[in-house]
Chain A
Amino acid sequence: MKSITKKITLGAVVIVAFIGYAYETYLKPSTTTPITSVTPTGTVATPTGTTGSTGATGSTSGTYKDGTYTGSVADAYFGSVQVAVNITAGKISNVTFLQYPNDRGTSKQINAGAMPRLSAEAVAAQSANVNIVSGATQTSQAFEQSLQAALSQAAA
């Protein structure tokens, strides 16, 4: 019981942190606030960039350096899934889901109203209960935002 509470708290911290990051990056594109890496204990977001450095340096724009970035999207209830995102000309050009959680042992029937999500696509992969989600068409912006929130160190 205790470990689940811990997981939920951790997940909430992660989600709040990612939301804060996404706000900083997308709702204020003209700021020059340096990107701080959003890595609360337990989450991993380590880009393996093919161009540029892997360290977070000061950001002067809202776009991303071209390259391939691997990040973990952490889900409080089901564990994590890896995504590899290709950035071309500063925009997401491709997303590959590298692994699905295989451990079904800890999954449980989640009340459909309580599932936390970071992005529609990532959650579909993360969730032990669904493979994919149907909904009204999101803007591509919404999709990009939620996925980029997971790549906190991919900023140019």
Chain B
Amino acid sequence: MRMARIIMGMPVSVDIIGTPTPEIFEKIFGYFTWVDETFSTYKKESEISRINSGELKLKDASEKVQKVFKLCEETKEITNGAFDIYKKDGTCDPSGLVKGWAIYQASFLLKAEGYENFFIEAGGDIQVSGHNEDKGPWRVGIRDPFKKDSLLKIVALANGEGIATSGTYERGQHIYDPRTGKAVTDLVALTVIGKNCYEADRFATAAFVMGNKALSFIQSRSELEAVVTHVGGKEEMTAGFNKYIVK
């Protein structure tokens, strides 16, 4: 059964194979509501907003927030600063990591209740588990950045992978290189498949910033595969991406 709700300003959908209860859906949507209330830069009372306003010190923030900041720091190091939640004015915005992290955390809530076959999707990033209704791999379409109603590729995910897409074709130019402050204009879209949605999302965010160097960065990491669409329309994939594609 599948349900969807708009939380964090984006559609969140959960599809659970079997006989899920209404309560488990509420639990998952409730979790995303908590994520929104805690991490949203649009909510004045969130811990992130209060950290940014100076009202709350990071060392006094909740355990989960401190954990996320630690993950952001690690990601910054791995990507040589291409991922950096701090802006020039000293405020921070961890949303490039929080979304995938939250989706991944939510999957543990489902597993704890004994659900093994499901997906959780929020704003175009997806965590799968087990198999779909037909007992096959989850079949995920990747949107074509140039043709609104078309798919670039269809991939089959059979091992609990996560998939995340960064792109400028929906919300316009909103991705900036934290090292230079400049808008990133090499790529239009980048989709990463990782061993879970946390990995896929943080590296989709970071790699997009790397522009023309994105693909070689992803290629250098063994647990990631990606497909990118350049501004001119050229499409490129990492060597191992092909194994996911459904013909």
What's the tally of chain A residues with a CB closer than 8 Å to chain B? 35
Question: In the bound complex, do residue A117 and residue B145 qualify as a contact, i.e. CB atoms below 8 Å apart?
Answer: no
Of A2-10, A23-31, A46-54, A87-95, the one contacting chain B is: A87-95
User: Contacts A112-B151, A112-B153, A139-B170: A132 and B145 contacting too (C-beta < 8 A)?
Assistant: no
Minimum C-beta distance from B119 to chain A (A): 6
User: Contacts A112-B151, A112-B154, A115-B151: A132 and B13 contacting too (C-beta < 8 A)?
Assistant: yes
Check: A127 CB closer than 8 A to any chain B CB.
yes
Q: Which of A104-156 contact B (CB under 8 A)?
A: 109, 112-117, 120-121, 124-125, 127, 129-140, 142-144
Q: What are the interface flags for B149-182 relative to A under an 8 Å C-beta threshold, 1 for contact and 0 otherwise?
A: 1111110000000011111111100000000000
Check: A100 CB closer than 8 A to any chain B CB.
yes
Check: A96 CB closer than 8 A to any chain B CB.
yes
Contact for A94 among B5, B132, B147, CB less than 8 A = B5
Check: B3 CB closer than 8 A to any chain A CB.
yes
Question: In the bound complex, do residue A132 and residue B15 qualify as a contact, i.e. CB atoms below 8 Å apart?
Answer: yes
Minimum C-beta distance from B165 to chain A (A): 5
State the majority secondary structure of interface residues on B.
strand
Contacts of B4 in A (CB 8 A): 94-97, 121
Name which residue of chain A comes closest to B9, CB basis: A140
Question: In the bound complex, do residue A95 and residue B171 qualify as a contact, i.e. CB atoms below 8 Å apart?
Answer: no
Check: B189 CB closer than 8 A to any chain A CB.
yes
User: Contacts A136-B145, A144-B6: A129 and B166 contacting too (C-beta < 8 A)?
Assistant: no
Contacts of B144 in A (CB 8 A): 112-113
User: Contacts A113-B150, A130-B151, A136-B170: A143 and B11 contacting too (C-beta < 8 A)?
Assistant: yes
Question: In the bound complex, do residue B154 and residue A134 qualify as a contact, i.e. CB atoms below 8 Å apart?
Answer: no
Check: B2 CB closer than 8 A to any chain A CB.
yes
Minimum C-beta distance from B223 to chain A (A): 18
Contacts of B167 in A (CB 8 A): 135-136
Question: In the bound complex, do residue A136 and residue B153 qualify as a contact, i.e. CB atoms below 8 Å apart?
Answer: no
Question: In the bound complex, do residue A133 and residue B149 qualify as a contact, i.e. CB atoms below 8 Å apart?
Answer: no
A115 to B126, CA, bound (A): 21
A112 to B143, CA, bound (A): 10
Contacts of B140 in A (CB 8 A): 130-134
Contacts of B83 in A (CB 8 A): none
Most interface-central of A91, A121, A124 (chain B CB within 10 A): A124
Question: In the bound complex, do residue B123 and residue A97 qualify as a contact, i.e. CB atoms below 8 Å apart?
Answer: no
Minimum C-beta distance from B76 to chain A (A): 22
A-B contacts, 8 listed (Cβ < 8 Å) = A95-B5, A96-B2, A112-B141, A130-B140, A132-B121, A136-B168, A136-B171, A140-B11
> A97-B2, A136-B145 known; 9 other A-B pairs, CB under 8 Å?
A95-B13, A121-B13, A125-B2, A130-B140, A131-B132, A132-B141, A133-B143, A133-B151, A137-B171
Binding site for A on B (CB under 8 A): 1-6, 9-11, 13, 15, 119, 121, 123-126, 132-133, 138-145, 147-154, 163-171, 189, 191, 246-247
Binding site for B on A (CB under 8 A): 91-97, 100, 109, 112-117, 120-121, 124-125, 127, 129-140, 142-144
Q: Which 4 A-B pairs have the closest CB atoms?
A: A136-B167, A135-B143, A137-B123, A130-B141
